[in-house]
Amino acid sequence: MNIINKSRKIISINGEPLLPGVTMNLGEGMEKHPAIADYLERGVIADASKAAAPSADSTGISDFERAKIAEEAIAKYKAEQEAAAQAKAEKEAEIKAVKTMDKDALITKALGMGIDVSDSDTKDTLKEKIFKALGV
């Protein structure tokens, strides 16, 4: 009889590990062993031939695969949040730096950003142009 581990934990049968979602061939008459019978009754393991075809209401994804997908989604979400926080911190630092710049530094910054600068631009005008280009 082939069995499949339907749980999210590693179980041991005859000293052999059975990982979640993995199948194992049981020896003749092993399904009558009290521990194996209990696992079958509780749904920890199942007959692989019966479990191979998912029912219509089932998604066909094991608990182990669901946990893995959830962990990957959480990790991706956290990475996105960290990247967004870092980008926000960098933008705030740039805004703070622009606020403290003198006119020559503002002209250099504006020209580096591709902003048109005229001789009549004041320090406040240059700051406004830079902030507008930064989307503030």
Three-state secondary structure readout of 68-96: HHHHHHHHHHHHHHHHHHHHHHHHHHHHH
What is the pTM for the complete model shown?
A: 0.44
Boundaries of domain holding 39: 2-51
Domain assignment of residue 133, yes or no: yes
pLDDT band (50, 70, 90) for residue 85: very high
Q: Is residue 116 part of a domain?
A: yes
In a domain, 88, yes or no: no
Going by pLDDT thresholds of 50, 70 and 90, the confidence category of residue 118 is confident
Confidence of residue 59 (pLDDT cuts 50, 70, 90): low
Residue 64 corresponds to which tokens in the numbers above? 């182990």
Q: What are phi and psi of 17, to 5 degrees?
A: -75, 140
Sequence-separated (6 or more) residues with CB below 8 Å from residue 123: 102, 103, 106
Residue 45 resides in a domain: yes
Determine, yes or no, domain membership for 71: no
Question: Does residue 70 belong to any structural domain of this protein?
Answer: no
| Residue finishing a domain among 35, 51, 67 | 51
Domains identified in the chain, total number: 2
- Is 68 within the bounds of a domain? no
Q: Is residue 81 part of a domain?
A: no
